[in-house]
Amino acid sequence: MKHKVLIPTDFSKNAMQALHYAIKLYENDHCDFYLLNVFSATSNIMESLLNMEPGSELYQTAKLHSENGLAKVYDMIAMGEYDNPKHQFKTISVFNNPVTAIKDVVEKKDIEMIVMGSKGETYSRATAFGSTAINVMEKVRNCPVIVVPQNAKKILPKEIVFPTDYKINFKRRELKYLTDIAKKCDATIIVLHVLEQNELDKNQKEKKQLLEDILEGTNYKHHTLPHCSIETAITIFVESRESDMVAFINKKHAFFGSMLTNPLVKDITFHSRVPIMVMHDLKN
């Protein structure tokens, strides 16, 4: 089976790190990597879409910059230390809104995973994620995404933290990406539950059992923390154990979205060092 992985890039240092992470993650697999650069004429995407006509000097200049950038990345891979006969690299340059372009490629190329940097060339220390990363995590709902921070450790995950309240209906096909990576990396999945009450109710116990059935065949452990905010609990846990990845199921307009849009998100310090994998509730 050949995997298909999309790597959006703006040629920033963080985007290159995400590419290296993806290559390492799939080093033992047959894989097609699609390197996507979405170009525009100005930093204002809507202004570009409205005013930049194909064939115009502005359009052609931006297109040439995009194609040359992709060619340099391709040459860097070909001439570097990435001599892996199992890997093929394809480049895509397109003029569009980044999220729309990513959605289109996911559909047309049957992409199974997106790996991208948390911030691009407009890197800001004041925020945990750039706007493109946030929008991809929230809006590209038919494909999971791994977001790699610029300061992430250059190792594959050995401990993946999976926070849950045991209130959603887990589905094997949604969690397949988590179990596949855990097996691929020989990683332990830590199922992290933040207590809201002293014990689980009947419904939560049933969901916990369902999750255990799905995780069978992986190394997994349960861990419970006293009641506190989800953000605080995950931060304390990840930092104290130096965990290597955090994985979420992103229910639309729910748990993960609140973390991303909350102004306090910039204070969740693990975001700056730990890759995050976002899977989706496929009902949405």
Is residue 5 predicted with pLDDT exceeding 90?
yes
Once rounded to an integer, what is the mean pLDDT over residues 156-172?
91
Give the model's pLDDT for residue 48: 56
Quote the CA–CA distance of 52 and 96 in Å, as a whole number: 11
Question: In whole angstroms, what is the distance from residue 189 CA to residue 11 CA?
Answer: 32
Same domain, 33 and 133: yes
**109 shares its domain with 180:** no
Nearest residue to 117 (alpha-carbon basis) of 26, 32, 265, 16: 16
The model carries a pTM of 0.88
Say what the pLDDT of residue 255 is. 45
Specify the pLDDT at position 150: 84
Does 260 map to a domain? yes
Q: Beta strands 145-148 and 113-117: pairing type?
A: parallel
With contact defined as beta carbons under 8 Å apart, do 74 and 115 qualify?
no
pLDDT per position as a tens digit, 233-260: 888 889 899 999 999 887 765 544 455 5
Q: What is the CATH number of the domain that holds 83?
A: 3.40.50.620
Domain that holds residue 167: 159-280
Mean pLDDT of the chain: 84
Same domain, 8 and 143: yes
Give yes or no for a contact between 43 and 15, defined as CB atoms under 8 angstroms apart.
no
Residues 195 and 86 in one domain: no
Q: Give residue 45's pLDDT.
A: 58
Per-residue pLDDT at 138: 83
Percent of the chain clearing pLDDT 70 (strictly above): 83
Final residue before a domain boundary, out of 89, 123, 148: 148
Kindly state whether residues 19 and 48 are assigned to the same domain: yes
For the ranges 59-63, 191-195, 205-209, 215-219, the lowest mean pLDDT is seen at 59-63
Flag whether pLDDT at 207 surpasses 90.
yes
Mean pLDDT of 230-234: 79
What are the b/e assignments for 91-106, b being 16+ CB within 10 Å?
Answer: bbbbbbbbbebbbebb
Residues 143 and 163 in one domain: no
pLDDT band at 265 (very low <50, low <70, confident <90, very high): very low
The mean pLDDT of 111-134, rounded to a whole number, is: 74
Task: Looking at the structure, tell me whether residues 189 and 127 fall in a common domain.
Answer: no
Q: Is residue 154 part of a domain?
A: no
On whether both 206 and 173 belong to a single domain, the answer is: yes
Instruction: Supply the pLDDT for residue 232.
Output: 79
Residues 157-180, mean pLDDT to the nearest whole number? 92
Residue 119 in this model has a pLDDT that exceeds 90: no
The amino acid at 150: Q
Q: Which pLDDT tens digit goes with each residue over 6-62?
A: 999 999 999 999 999 999 999 999 999 999 999 875 555 555 555 666 667 778 888
What mean pLDDT comes out for the span 70-95? 90
Between CA 220 and CA 188 the distance in angstroms is 5
| Per-residue pLDDT at 270 exceeds 90 | no
Asked if residue 12 is part of any domain, the answer here is yes
Residues 138 and 163 in one domain: no
Q: Which pLDDT band, with edges at 50, 70 and 90, does 135 fall under?
A: confident
- Domains: count for the chain: 2
pLDDT of residue 262: 46
